[in-house]
């Protein structure tokens, strides 16, 4: 991934070399006996480790605000420490003040930028942890997942419906089915690879719009299912309508032509007050174009 950051890395190396040439041009080399080895080890080691961390960040993260802030902060710390280290090898006259300016600004600015990057990285981790929590049920039995979307499959959904009824028989539980309109046309016109990319994106999008205890599954083809524990019919209707609206607002562009596809979905939802097979059969029937909606937030 480092090849994506070739220009910034070349610029960083050029700045480090420029600092060396600047000290060499305006200073005199200190006698070997005057070198402060503890300072050299501390300041040079800090510069080296910051540079190593910079390479690790750039080689392991995609481009974005967090990566930029972390990289700029580490670069500032590395260059500031490098300037401090060079000061141990070259003696500058009292009239020279730019070395003090470099030492007193590069590292603090780098630390400030690095702190901002760590803050946004923390926010990013909260979002990732939330998604992982939403997938926790699936991770408990890793064989029951769909390979394309990494969501639970239909068989796992059936078992979870039965488990929810056994675990909390007096608590309401609802199920939502969501079907993408004209998905077969997308596969036909733009290829199956484009359709697969869309299904993966829809899986991530739906996860972001669910509660932590909800279970999202790929039920079949372009049909997703959401199990909503401790949720009555009215709340299930609201969630189903929200998910349908979210799909309609997705700005999806095809990879080859960059063409935006208009997406829409049909939804059906019901309280899970019967066995899984009957419940799924009723919801699937409600999603058929000619069928009447099962609930107010049902098929459009």
pLDDT band at residue 95 using 50, 70 and 90 as cut-offs: confident
Q: Is residue 38 part of a domain?
A: yes
Q: Mean pLDDT across the chain, nearest whole number?
A: 86
pLDDT (mean) for 251-278: 89
Q: Is residue 111 part of a domain?
A: yes
Number of other residues whose CB lies within 10 A of the CB of residue 289? 9
Q: Is residue 299 part of a domain?
A: no
- 115 shares its domain with 255: no
The gap from C-alpha 213 to its chain's centroid, in whole angstroms, comes to 20
Number of domains in the chain: 2
- 282 shares its domain with 141: yes
- 90 shares its domain with 156: no
Domain residues for 114?
2-128
- 79 shares its domain with 144: no
CATH code, 262: 3.30.70.270
- 83 shares its domain with 152: no
What pLDDT score does 143 carry?
52
- 241 shares its domain with 169: yes
Token pair in block for residue 137: 């049920």
What pLDDT score does 36 carry?
87
Q: Is residue 252 part of a domain?
A: yes
The closest alpha carbon to 141, from 124, 158, 166, belongs to 158
Q: Is residue 217 part of a domain?
A: yes
- 250 shares its domain with 154: yes
- 97 shares its domain with 151: no
What pLDDT score does 292 carry?
38
- 153 shares its domain with 94: no
| Residue recorded with tokens 């409600």 | 286
Instruction: Please give the residue that has the higher pLDDT: either 198 or 92.
Output: 198
- 100 shares its domain with 146: no
- 62 shares its domain with 171: no
Query: Which of 66, 100, 128 is where one domain is finished?
Result: 128
Q: What is the pLDDT of residues 149-205, one digit of tens each?
A: 889 899 989 989 988 888 888 888 999 999 999 999 999 999 999 999 999 999 999
Query: Which of 75, 93, 128 is where one domain is finished?
Result: 128
**Residue 267: pLDDT over 90:** yes
CA separation, residue 122 to residues 110, 119, 127, 134, 270 (Å): 18, 5, 9, 18, 38
Q: What is the pLDDT of residues 211-244, one digit of tens each?
A: 888 999 999 999 999 999 999 999 999 999 999 9
- 23 shares its domain with 100: yes
The model carries a pTM of 0.53
Query: Which of 128, 145, 160 is where one domain is finished?
Result: 128
């Amino acid at each position: 991934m480092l090849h994506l950051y070739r220009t910034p890395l070349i610029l960083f190396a050029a700045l480090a070399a420029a600092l060396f040439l600047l000290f060499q041009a305006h200073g005199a080399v200190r006698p070997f006996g005057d070198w402060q080895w503890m300072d050299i080890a501390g300041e040079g080691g800090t510069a080296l480790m910051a540079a190593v961390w910079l390479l690790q960040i750039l080689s392991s993260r995609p481009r974005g605000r967090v990566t930029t802030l972390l990289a700029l902060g580490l670069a500032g710390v590395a260059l500031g420490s490098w300037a401090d280290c060079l000061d141990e090898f070259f003696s500058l006259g009292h009239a020279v003040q730019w070395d003090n300016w470099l030492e007193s600004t590069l590292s603090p600015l780098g630390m400030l930028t690095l702190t901002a990057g760590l803050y946004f990285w923390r926010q990013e981790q909260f979002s990732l942890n939330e998604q992982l929590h939403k997938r926790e049920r699936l991770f408990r039995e890793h064989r029951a997942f769909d390979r394309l979307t990494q969501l639970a499959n239909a068989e796992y959904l059936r078992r979870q419906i039965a488990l929810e009824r056994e675990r909390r028989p007096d608590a309401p539980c609802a199920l939502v089915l969501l079907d993408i309109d004209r998905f077969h046309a997308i596969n036909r016109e733009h290829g199956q690879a484009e359709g697969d990319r869309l299904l993966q994106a829809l899986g991530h999008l739906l996860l972001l719009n669910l509660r932590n205890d909800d279970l999202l599954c790929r039920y079949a083809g372009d049909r997703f299912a959401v199990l909503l524990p401790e949720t009555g019919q009215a709340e299930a209707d609201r969630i189903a309508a929200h998910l349908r609206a979210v799909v309609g607002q997705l700005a999806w562009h095809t990879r080859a032509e960059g063409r935006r596809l208009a997406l829409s979905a049909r939804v059906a939802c019901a309280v899970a007050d019967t066995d899984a097979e009957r419940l799924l059969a009723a919801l699937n029937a409600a999603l058929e174009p000619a069928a009447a909606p099962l609930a107010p937030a049902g098929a459009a």
